[in-house]
Structure 1
Amino acid sequence: MADFSVEVLLKTETMSVRDVVCAGKCRHQSAEECARSTHLVFPYRGVYVRHVGRQAAVAEANQVLFFNAGESYRVSHPVEGGDACLSVSIDEELLRELVPREQLRDGPELAFRRARRRIDPRAQALLALIRHGLSRKVAETLEAETLVLTLVRRSLGERTSQAAGASAGRQKLVDRAKLVLASDLARRWTLAEVAREVGVSPVYLTQVFREVEGVPLYRYQLRSRLARALHLLDDYDDLTALGLDLGFSSHSHFSAAFRQAYGRTPAEFQRQVNLR
C-alpha cells in the first residue's frame, strides 16, 4: 500500500490543485525526490520536514513551502500521524506576475529564494474554503481559480505575511520547538517543558521564537490548533468535543479564538462551506 495518496481537485489551463495525504511511515529521510515544476505547498494537517541539501524546513499549517523545478529533496516524519497538504501549481507566466521580484532567484528559471514563508489566519481560512469547496464539488471552476489566485497573492504579499528568515542556528531551534508542540497538539505544554525538550532556557526560547516567527510561542500553538480545527470541522457534529480534543478549556474559549482568527464561529464556518 502506498505511503501517500494524491487527489486532483482542480485542473485547468492555468493551474492545478492536488490534495496530497501522506501516512508518514518514514521517520527518517526518504529516498531523494525531484520537483517536476515550481509549485507551492500548503500543509493543513500534521507536520513533516523537507530536506534540501543540508537545509531543513518544518512543514506545518502556518507556512507555505516552495518547491523549485528540478530541485532534489527528501522528506522525513519525526512526528507520528502523517500529514496532508494542498499542492498548487500555476502557469509559469501567471506565477511570475504574482511573485514579488525580490522573492525570486536571479536567472532565467523561475525559482524561489526561500524554502518557505509564513501565512496568516485569513490565508488559512481561505485555504480551507478552497479545499472543502473543491472536495465537496460545491465550488465552480471560475470561483475556485479566483480563490486560488487570491490565496497565492495573499501568501506572497508583504502586507499579509513575513518572510521566514533567520540565522540557521536560530531557525533550527525554532523548528525543534515546532516539532515538540506538533507531537501533541492538544497538550497544555508549559514553557519550561518545551524549553527543556529543545535544550535552551525558557527566556531564550521565547525571545528567539518571537524574533524568528513574528509571534509568541503560545500564539503559534493557538494558530496550529485552529488550523487543525479547520481540517476537522467536517468530522465533528459536536463542536464542543472538537474544541476539547484540541486542548481548548471550553467551547466558549474555542469558539472565541476561532472567531477572532477567522472572522466567524466554527458553526458559522461549517454552514458557510456546507459541511453540515
Structure 2
Amino acid sequence: MLLDLNTVFHSELLSIRHGIARPSPDGVSNIECESADLILLPIKGVFAKHDGPRQHFIANPNHGILLGAGRPYRISFLDQVGDESLVLDFPKEVLASVLVEAVAGEDFGSSALAPHCLLSPASVMNRELLWRHLRQAVVDSLAVEEISLAMLTGALQAASVRGRLSDRGKQSVTMARRRQQVETVKELISLHANQDWTLTSLARHAHTSPFHLARVFREQVGVPVHRYLIRTRLGKALEAMQSAELDFAAIAHANGFASHSHFTSSFRSLFGLTPSQSRQRMAIY
C-alpha cells in the first residue's frame, strides 16, 4: 500500500491527519499496527480492512473504523483507485473520558465495541463539515474540535451497538458465514452503487436466498439492504457536491437515482435538509 499521510490539524485536544492510500504496484499489502487508538473516517473510495483470517470489513464513506492500539490489521483495495480518509488521534486522557461516558468502555479493544460501525446520517454530515473546515485557508479550531468530539462520540455509540451483536456469535460458524455474505453484498454495493440492484441478484452473488439475505443483512448492519444502497449513493453524491460546477440532476444521474426529485427526497429523508440547503450550509463554512 502506498500511503501519503499529512497532519492537517493539531491542538491540545486532538491531531487530525489526511491520508491518501493507493494499491502498491506489486499488489502486496503489509500488516499494520497502530501505537494509539485512532478513528479512521473514509471520505472517498472503498477498501477492505482485514482483522484476521476470513475476517474482513468493507468500508466506504458511510463507515467509521476504530483502529485499536497494538491490534494488527491489513488493508486491501477492491479496485485500483484506493481511498482517502481522515485519521482522528485524541490524547489518552480525552479518549478515556469519552469512552467511559459514551459506551462504558476502557479502550478500543473493549468487548463493548466492534472495530467498525455504520455512521449515523448526522455523523456523515458532520464528517463532511469537518473536512470542509479543514480545507479552509484559515481553520476555525473551535469548530474543528467540537465536530471532532461529536464524530468520536457518534462512532463509539454506533460501534457499541454492533459490538453487542457480534459478541453473540464470535464462535459460531454460522455467524461467520453470515458476516461473509453481508460483506460480499456491501462490497458489491460500494463498488457499483449506481447499478440497478435487486435482492435476487445480490443474493445470487452472496450464494444465499433473497429472504435469508434480507434478514441477515438487517441483523448484521442495522439497516435494510435498500437503505444501505441509498446511503452509499448519497455518500458518493455528497462527495460530488463539493464541486460547485456540477448540478444536482447530473449528480443524481451519476449516482444511480432515477431522477433529480428522487435524489432530493432521499437526501432530505436521510439528512433532514435538501441538497441545495446542504450546499448552502457548507458554503457558509
- Give the match's secondary structure for 1:272: helix
Choose 192-201 or 25-34, whichever is displaced more: 25-34
Shift of 1:161: 7.6
- The partner residue of 1:195 within 186, 199, 203 is 203
Please tell me the residue identity of whatever aligns with 1:58: I
- Tell me what 1:47 maps to: 46
- Give the match's secondary structure for 1:43: strand
Shift of 1:28: 5.8
Structure 2 vs 1, CA of residues 95 and 183 (structure 1 numbering), >3 Å: closer, same or farther?
same
- Tell me what 1:241 maps to: 250
Listed one character per residue, the Cα deviations across residues 140-160 of structure 1 (whole Å, up to 9, x for unaligned) are 1011101110111122236x9
Shift of 1:73: 1.5
Shift of 1:63: 2.1
- Tell me what 1:56 maps to: 56
- Tell me what 1:14 maps to: 13
- Give the match's secondary structure for 2:162: coil
Q: Do the aligned partners of 1:185 and 1:225 also contact (CA within 8 Å) in 2?
A: yes
Compute the TM-score of the two structures, normalised by the length of structure 2.
0.86
Cα distance in 2, alignment partners of residues 154 and 186 from structure 1: 28
- Tell me what 2:109 maps to: 111
Structure 2 vs 1, CA of residues 110 and 215 (structure 1 numbering), >3 Å: closer, same or farther?
closer
Q: Do the aligned partners of 2:66 and 2:108 also contact (CA within 8 Å) in 1?
A: no
Listed one character per residue, the Cα deviations across residues 99-118 of structure 1 (whole Å, up to 9, x for unaligned) are 1475646xxx7634421122
Q: Which runs of 4+ in 1 moved over 6 A?
A: none
Structure 2 vs 1, CA of residues 65 and 262 (structure 1 numbering), >3 Å: closer, same or farther?
same
Structure 2 vs 1, CA of residues 260 and 251 (structure 1 numbering), >3 Å: closer, same or farther?
same
Listed one character per residue, the Cα deviations across residues 51-100 of structure 1 (whole Å, up to 9, x for unaligned) are 12323222222321111112222111124432222111111111111114
1:23 aligns with 2:38: no
Choose 16-25 or 37-46, whichever is displaced more: 16-25
Choose 137-146 or 147-156, whichever is displaced more: 137-146
Cα distance in 1, alignment partners of residues 266 and 13 from structure 2: 36
**Structure 2 gaps, min length 5:** 167-174
Aligned length: 271
Cα distance in 2, alignment partners of residues 27 and 130 from structure 1: 34
Cα distance in 1, alignment partners of residues 273 and 24 from structure 2: 36
Structure 2 vs 1, CA of residues 20 and 256 (structure 1 numbering), >3 Å: closer, same or farther?
same
Structure 2 vs 1, CA of residues 28 and 103 (structure 1 numbering), >3 Å: closer, same or farther?
farther
Structure 2 vs 1, CA of residues 184 and 173 (structure 1 numbering), >3 Å: closer, same or farther?
same
Shift of 1:237: 2.6
- The partner residue of 2:279 within 250, 270, 275 is 270
RMSD: 2.5
Listed one character per residue, the Cα deviations across residues 225-244 of structure 1 (whole Å, up to 9, x for unaligned) are 11111222112431210111
Query: Quick one: percent identity of the two aligned structures?
Result: 27
- Give the match's secondary structure for 2:56: strand
Shift of 1:27: 9.3
